[in-house]
Amino acid sequence: MSQVKNVLKLIGLYFKVNLASALEYRSGFLIQAFGMALSNGTFVFFWWVAFTQTGGRIGGYDFNDVMFIWALTSTAFGASHILFANMNRITRLIVSGELDTYLLQPKDVLISLLCSKTSLSAWGAFSYGFVLIALTQGRSPMAWLMFLTGVITGGLLMTAICVTAHTFTFYFGDASLMGNMAQEFIINFCNYPEGIYKGFVRVLLLSIIPASFIVHIPLKLARSFNATLLLALLAFSFMYCLLAYKFFYRGLKRYESGNLIITRL
Amino acid sequence: MKIKKYLTVVRISFQNAFVYRSNALGGLVFYALFIFVFFNLWRAIYQSGEAAGYSLNQIIWYLCMTELIVFGCKTGIFSEMNEDVKSGSIAYQLNRPYHYVFYQFSNALGTMFFNLIIYGVLAVVLGLIMVGPLPDYKLSMLPFGLFSGMLGILINFFLMMTLGFTAFKLEDNLAFFLIYQKLVFMLGMFIPVEFLPKWLQNVAVWLPFSYIAWAPAKLIVDFSWELFWRVVPVQVCWAFIAIILAIFMYSYGVRSLQAHGG
């Protein structure tokens, strides 16, 4: 228990330092956050046009359902990139030998590595989801509760998927393409109604690319709460993250230092 | 001859793109992913039949073509302009025996040409796998659609370059790029203009964005001479305006350029 507390404390500390550093460049920070929110916002228009054409439902979802999954994807993505933005650089750090810096620190290597960078534009994605939920789900307490639950589980799952993909670098060399693909796949499958996919893709969404657990199950819970499904969501998220964590440390044993001398400021 | 040096640049950049062809692998996967997701989405939308005059078959081919133009045009020209201007490295290129704007265009042309070939093959393969060939398609009309596609690529390239040159005056111009990109997405790339509300269609006609992806894709999947004469002259005008704008922004910006250090 104290270990979990320590990890949370470390994440909190990194967050404070990263935020203070981001606020040093206020105009850049605001422009990037605004740009990301605007970029996401234009897709509301796309969905509005699409639903105007069908006049009802697409893949079993109505307009508000789609807005829920968009909001959740956006905020979960934002949260994961505010706290763990370095996940996208894992391959680069391994290949260039910059991982040495983290190995010398008296804290959890993976957590230190993930938290030591933040993304400014992620704040736009993070806040955009809240605005969209407030505008489309109104005061529905269950929608808000499942949205907030989904932000935590979804954010952690997105990070775990990215970590898993980049960890392959320890085994096969540069896996940056796999890392980018993992992220693109997860975002694309989260942003569209589950019902538009059939067969094998549905299986993928419940396993390797767990988009169903990131957004579609929280939506189901928001619309019709089911305690067993919630437990399944929490258990799956925990297991996936634990496996990603173990996989990284197993891979780390294969890491060979390149004796690179660098300074971390 | 003056044009010879630019043709050499095109040739070298094409050779470079070919040598580093594995770089394109990731892009091909993303292209296939987008088409797959949108194929599923449009299939769900089309459960009720035809929409805005497009059949499902046509809309998937339309999407393959618009994505082809956007993926094929990916040259990173905006970020390159930004980087050149902000880092001051543009100063090194001022005294070289070429016009910076046309050098960048020639350099991008080789890459675009290579991209269009590989994405083009993938687009045709994906289209055939997902929905099969377009019924009653007149292959003889394809060159006219491709000509419109070339004009769309020209408009897009020089508008992006113009936006990149705003770095001469603005500290952070990323928001312009994001807004431009989304306007292209929404006014033709993801949704054909015919799907938009009437008032927006009337506005889109006067803007360059729908002439980048919508006009060529529509001409390729559903060619008519009436449409050709309606959109191609407008594309020529926008291409001309975009080139002039890029040259103007460059000349205007470079006059106030201050480079420090060495």
Q: Rounded distance, CA A162 to CA A169, Å?
A: 12
Whether the Cβ atoms of residue A144 and residue A137 lie closer than 8 Å to each other: yes
Using pLDDT thresholds of 50, 70 and 90, give the confidence band for residue B91. confident
- A58: helix, strand or coil: strand
B141-165 mean pLDDT: 91
Question: How many whole angstroms from its chain centre is CA B255?
Answer: 29
Name every residue whose Cβ is closer than 8 Å to that of residue B244 and which is 6 or more positions away in sequence: none
Q: What is the pLDDT of residues B20-59, one digit of tens each?
A: 776 677 778 888 888 888 888 888 888 766 677 788 888 9
Other C-beta atoms lying within 10 Å of the C-beta of residue A234: 14
Could you state, in order of their start, the residue ranges of all structural domains in chain A? 25-252
Q: Identify whether B262 is part of a domain.
A: no
pLDDT exceeds cutoff 70 at B171: no
B95-113 mean pLDDT: 86
B182-203 mean pLDDT: 86
- B180: helix, strand or coil: helix
In chain A, which residue's Cα lies nearest the Cα of B23? A177
Which positions in chain B have a beta carbon within 8 angstroms of at least one beta carbon in chain A? 25-26, 29-30, 33-34, 37, 40-41, 43-45, 47-48, 51-52, 171-172, 174-175, 178-179, 181-182, 185-186, 190-191, 195-197
In chain A, which residue's Cα lies nearest the Cα of B189? A46
Whether the Cβ atoms of residue B13 and residue B109 lie closer than 8 Å to each other: yes
Cβ A31–B44 below 8 Å, yes or no? no
Higher pLDDT, residue A149 or A41: A149
Q: Tell me, what's the pLDDT at A247?
A: 94
Q: Identify whether B260 is part of a domain.
A: no
DSSP B51: B
Q: Identify whether B246 is part of a domain.
A: yes
Q: Tell me, what's the pLDDT at B137?
A: 82
Query: Which of A26, A27, A46 is the best substitution to test chain B (most B C-beta atoms within 10 A)?
Result: A46
Q: Rounded distance, CA A150 to CA A137, Å?
A: 15
| Terminal Cα-to-Cα distance of chain B (whole angstroms) | 33
In chain A, which residue's Cα lies nearest the Cα of B186? A46
Q: Rounded distance, CA A41 to CA A36, Å?
A: 8
Q: Rounded distance, CA B92 to CA B81, Å?
A: 13
In chain A, which residue's Cα lies nearest the Cα of B43? A196
Whether the Cβ atoms of residue B173 and residue B258 lie closer than 8 Å to each other: no
Cβ B40–A58 below 8 Å, yes or no? no
Whether the Cβ atoms of residue B161 and residue B81 lie closer than 8 Å to each other: yes
Q: Rounded distance, CA A230 to CA A57, Å?
A: 25
Over chain B, what is the mean pLDDT? 85
What is the least distance, in Å, from the CA of A2 to any CA of chain B?
42
Higher pLDDT, residue A138 or B128: B128
Q: Identify whether B49 is part of a domain.
A: yes
pLDDT exceeds cutoff 70 at A263: no
Q: Which value does ipTM take for this structure?
A: 0.76
Whether the Cβ atoms of residue B176 and residue B164 lie closer than 8 Å to each other: no
Question: A16-24, long-range: CB within 8 Å, 24+ apart, which pairs?
Answer: A18/A82, A18/A115, A18/A117, A18/A118, A19/A118, A21/A118, A22/A118, A22/A120, A22/A123
DSSP B134: P
Q: Tell me, what's the pLDDT at B260?
A: 63
pLDDT exceeds cutoff 60 at A147: yes
Exposed, middle or buried, B94 (CB in 10 Å: 0-12/13-18/19+)?
exposed
Q: Tell me, what's the pLDDT at A255?
A: 85
Across B133-165, b (16+ Cβ under 10 Å) vs e yields: ebeebeeebeebbbebbebbbbbbbbbbbbbbb
Q: Spell out which residues of chain B touch residue A39, defining contact as CB-CB under 8 Å.
A: 178, 181-182
* Residue among B30, B47, B195 minimizing CB distance to A49: B195
Look-up of token digits 């806040």: A127
Show the domain range for B227.
2-255
In chain B, which residue's Cα lies nearest the Cα of A189? B37
- DSSP β-bridge partners for residue A58: A61
In chain B, which residue's Cα lies nearest the Cα of A33? B175
Q: What is the pLDDT of residues A42-98, one digit of tens each?
A: 788 888 888 887 777 888 888 899 999 999 999 999 999 999 988 988 988 888 888
Cβ A34–B175 below 8 Å, yes or no? yes
Look-up of token digits 């829920």: A68
Q: Tell me, what's the pLDDT at B62?
A: 93
Q: Rounded distance, CA B182 to CA B161, Å?
A: 16
pLDDT exceeds cutoff 80 at B239: yes
Q: Rounded distance, CA B258 to CA A18, Å?
A: 33
In chain B, which residue's Cα lies nearest the Cα of A191? B37
Q: Phi/psi at B188 (nearest 5 deg)?
A: 140, -35
* Residue among A39, A177, A197 minimizing CB distance to B182: A39
Q: What is the pLDDT of residues A175-233, one digit of tens each?
A: 887 888 888 888 888 888 888 888 888 888 888 888 899 999 999 999 998 999 999 99
Using pLDDT thresholds of 50, 70 and 90, give the confidence band for residue A33. confident
Q: Spell out which residues of chain B touch residue A201, defining contact as CB-CB under 8 Å.
A: 40
Q: Rounded distance, CA B101 to CA B16, Å?
A: 20
Q: Tell me, what's the pLDDT at A102?
A: 86
What is the least distance, in Å, from the CA of B9 to any CA of chain A?
29
pLDDT exceeds cutoff 90 at A137: no
Q: Tell me, what's the pLDDT at B48?
A: 61
- B10: helix, strand or coil: helix
Tokens of B165: 């040159």
Q: Tell me, what's the pLDDT at B49?
A: 61
Cβ A53–B25 below 8 Å, yes or no? no
- DSSP β-bridge partners for residue A61: A58
Q: Rounded distance, CA B186 to CA B188, Å?
A: 6
Cβ B34–A188 below 8 Å, yes or no? yes
Tokens of B203: 């506005």
A vs B, Cβ pairs < 8 A, gives: 75
Q: Rounded distance, CA A100 to CA A88, Å?
A: 17
Query: Which of B166, B182, B184, B194 is the best substitution to test chain A (most A C-beta atoms within 10 A)?
Result: B182
Helices and strands counted in chain A (H then E):
14, 0
Cβ A58–B181 below 8 Å, yes or no? no
What is the least distance, in Å, from the CA of B27 to any CA of chain A?
10
B123-139 mean pLDDT: 88
Q: Tell me, what's the pLDDT at B159?
A: 92
Q: Rounded distance, CA B176 to CA B163, Å?
A: 7
Query: Which of B21, B36, B37, B196 is the best substitution to test chain A (most A C-beta atoms within 10 A)?
Result: B37
Q: What is the pLDDT of residues A96-111, one digit of tens each?
A: 888 888 888 888 889 9
Report the number of distinct structural domains present in chain B: 1
Rg (CA), chain A: 19
Exposed, middle or buried, B1 (CB in 10 Å: 0-12/13-18/19+)?
exposed
- B212: closest CA among B189, B192, B233? B189
